Amino acid sequence: MKVAIPMFKDRISPLFSTAPEALLVQTEGGRVCGSWKINLARLSPTERRVKFLGLGIEALFCGGIDEATRRWF
């Protein structure tokens, strides 16, 4: 499973659409098998959604999400 956690410095971002980066975590069998960060600073909310879809993200953890993105996911 691929999980995305939008980040603001060293914390979970309060809003998906304004997070400057995301921590991506790959798990298998309930164990973390890899993690990496991606830069989101220059991406619009639509570009972020497309990027996450292309990466195969299956779960998103964040403090809040705009209505358009919620419906899209």
Q: Residue 32: which CATH number?
A: 3.30.420.130
Q: Express each pLDDT in 27-49 by its tens digit.
A: 999 899 999 999 999 998 889 88
Chain mean position to CA 44: 13
Structural domain count, the chain: 1
Across the chain, mean pLDDT equals: 91
pTM confidence score:
0.86
CA distance 29 to 17: 30
Domain containing residue 7: 2-72
In this predicted structure, what is the pLDDT of residue 29?
92
Specify the pLDDT at position 41. Answer: 94
Provide the pLDDT confidence category of residue 22 given band limits of 50, 70 and 90.
very high
